[in-house]
């Protein structure tokens, strides 16, 4: 019998739009090949990312943390007609396979896939981003946010993943990694440059809209 969380996740996936064949393939192959497949955004969160992007219709998206490209393709569904998405990841070992996924998608010409340190690559890309999705090394989330907030126009959005940290943010005596997540959340909650809320999806998605 399914546990309550698994049952709820299955119900959410049943009641939202289905994954396309390429997303199903990425999902399946990620769980077969990766040692930490839970890093994948997955079906329901992928639909949330797609919906937010489609509501915004961004011309330029920046994603920090590509992993196997699932969220990248979901975000790309909302791109404006001539829009582009830049996605950055540090892991060279996945590059060939992930690039094959991108090449197989209808957004192949709109995806710019960068391998390297995001701190070095972001200045090279330059310009403004209507939508930013931060889903990389958690210790640098505040650095990425502070680096990018001035490159997001009024009405643009920043999304930060894993901000509930498996519920550990509620602990009175958190470990150092959880403490960093809590400090980020406290900072964002008091930042008057943005409207904000946390969606309790999977591991928590902070949604921030530039004022």
- Ramachandran quadrant class, 162 (left: phi over 0; alpha: psi -120 to 50; beta: rest): left
Assess if residue 12 is contained within a domain: no
Domain with residue 127: its CATH number is 3.40.50.150
Provide CB contacts within 8 A for 63, sequence distance 6+.
Answer: 71, 72, 75, 85, 86, 87, 88, 132, 133, 135
Assess if residue 123 is contained within a domain: yes
What's the number of domains the chain is made of?
1
Q: What percent of the chain has pLDDT over 70?
A: 99
pLDDT for residue 71? 98
Average pLDDT, the chain: 95
pTM of the prediction?
A: 0.95
Assess if residue 113 is contained within a domain: yes
What are the tens digits of pLDDT across the range 101-149? Answer: 999 999 999 999 999 999 999 999 999 999 999 999 888 999 999 999 9
Assess if residue 132 is contained within a domain: yes
Q: Which residues span the domain enclosing 148?
A: 49-210
Q: Is the pLDDT of residue 18 over 70?
A: yes
What are the tens digits of pLDDT across the range 44-78? Answer: 999 999 999 999 999 999 999 999 999 999 999 99
Cα gap 13→31, rounded to integer Å: 17
| Tokens linked to 200 | 């309790």
């Amino acid at each position: 019998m399914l546990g309550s969380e698994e049952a709820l996740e299955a119900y959410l996936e049943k009641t939202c739009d289905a994954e396309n064949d390429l997303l199903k393939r990425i999902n399946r192959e990620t769980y077969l090949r990766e040692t930490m497949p839970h890093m994948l955004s997955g079906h329901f969160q992928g639909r949330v990312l797609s919906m937010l992007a489609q509501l915004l219709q961004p011309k330029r998206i920046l994603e920090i943390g590509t992993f196997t490209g699932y969220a990248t393709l979901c975000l790309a569904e909302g791109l404006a007609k001539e829009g582009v998405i830049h996605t950055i990841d540090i892991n060279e070992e996945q590059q060939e396979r992930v690039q094959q996924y991108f090449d197989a998608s209808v957004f192949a010409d709109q995806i710019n896939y960068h391998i390297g340190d995001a701190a070095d690559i972001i200045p090279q890309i330059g310009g403004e981003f209507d939508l930013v999705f931060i889903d990389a090394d958690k210790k640098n989330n505040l650095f990425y946010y502070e680096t990018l907030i001035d490159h997001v126009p009024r009405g643009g959005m920043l999304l930060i993943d894993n901000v509930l940290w498996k519920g550990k943010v509620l602990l009175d005596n958190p470990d150092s990694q959880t403490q960093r997540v809590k400090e980020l959340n406290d900072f964002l909650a008091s930042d008057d440059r943005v409207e904000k809320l946390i969606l309790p999806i999977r591991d928590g998605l902070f949604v921030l809209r530039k004022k």
